[in-house]
Amino acid sequence: MDPVLDIRGLRKTFTLHAAGNRKVEALRGVSLRVAAGEHVALAGPSGAGKSSVLKCVYRTYLPSAGAIHLRRAGGTSVDLARLPDHEIAGLRHTEIAYVSQFLRAEPRRTALTVVARAGMRGGMAADLAAQAAAEALGRLRLDRSLWDTHPILLSGGEQQRVNLAAATIAPARLLLLDEPVAALDAANRRAVLDLVTSLPTRGAAVLSVFHDPDILHRVATRVILLHAGQITADGAPADLLATADLR
């Protein structure tokens, strides 16, 4: 089966002009594929380039070289490394979603509206989206009394769950998750991980970064190890995590 995401020879070099044009190589030729129904987790020590891969795919970073092919809903393929900005903007929220621990929910709309609107952007009818939004917030254990609150008044962990509900209500074809449980307590973490585990069965392709090896075990169908911007191993979580030192 054709992968949803097909990254070939991805390089990312930062040029720091204020530091005498010093070059920092974050990614040095990364190639990987993620199919629909697959959850590929990137692992490796801090600074290995895990988040840089996600940010290049989402185009928060401009890739320096290589190709990032996304197979779109209609079956056509686009190279995210070269697509014009306005086309990338159009793909965001509809075909590619990105959830990190740092994303802030939009102000002035209630939590329920934020999630329902995400559903409508994903093609749901208004009434269906409202119903699905309520279910999503319930599943993520957001207290019902907070549904009509503006997310800006919520705690970091509550906002994060609103973001996750919005990103997964009508899951994009490709979900990029960067430490989405970092700010959560144990009970909420379990609720989020249940949700994350269900995503591949709903047909999404997931590319993630989680630091906790136990979580990798639980959610990933495949793990890719990165070291200094290059892939050093690629395999089933059980095979890889037994031998690899992830710290």
Partner 1 sequence: MSWALRVAGLGVIYGGGCDRCPERTGPAAGAADPGLDAVDASGPGASRVVCDRCGSVVAAWDVSFEVAPGESLGVIGESGSGKSTVLRTIAGDLTPWAGAAWLAALDGGATDLFTLDRAARRRLRAGDLGMVYQDPAEGLDLEISAGGNVIEPLTAAGWRHFVRMRSRAAELLGRTEVPVDRMDDLVHTFSGGMRQRVQIAKALATSPGVVLLDEPTSGLDASVAAGVLDLIRELSEELGLATVVVSHDFQVMHMLARRVLVMHHGRVVEEGLTDQLLEDPQHPYSQRLVAAAR
Binding site for partner 1 (CB under 8 A): 14-18, 21, 55, 59-62, 84-89, 107-108
Q: Which is nearer to partner 1, 78 or 88 (CB)?
A: 88
CB of 225 to partner 1, least distance (A): 25
Which residues, other chains included, contact 239 with Cβ-Cβ below 8 Å and sequence gap of 6+?
Answer: none
DSSP secondary structure of 81-142: TTS-HHHHHHHBTTTEEEEETT--PPTTS-HHHHHHHHHHHTT--HHHHHHHHHHHHHHTT-
Q: Which is nearer to partner 1, 72 or 141 (CB)?
A: 72
CB of 86 to partner 1, least distance (A): 5
Please state at what angle helix 186-198 crosses helix 156-168, rounded to 10 degrees. Answer: 10
96: nearest Cα among 107, 87, 84, 109? 87
CB of 163 to partner 1, least distance (A): 15
7: nearest Cα among 46, 43, 55? 55
Burial class from Cβ neighbours inside 10 Å (0-12, 13-18, 19+) for residue 145 reads: exposed
| Pair 129, 104: CB distance under 8 Å | no
CB of 82 to partner 1, least distance (A): 14
Q: Which is nearer to partner 1, 115 or 195 (CB)?
A: 115
Q: Which is nearer to partner 1, 20 or 75 (CB)?
A: 20
CB of 36 to partner 1, least distance (A): 26
CB of 102 to partner 1, least distance (A): 11
Q: Which is nearer to partner 1, 14 or 138 (CB)?
A: 14
Q: Which is nearer to partner 1, 133 or 216 (CB)?
A: 133
Half-sphere exposure of 187 (CA within 13 A, CB side): 4
Name the one residue in this structure whose structure tokens are 């907070």. 146
Name the one residue in this structure whose structure tokens are 């990103």. 167
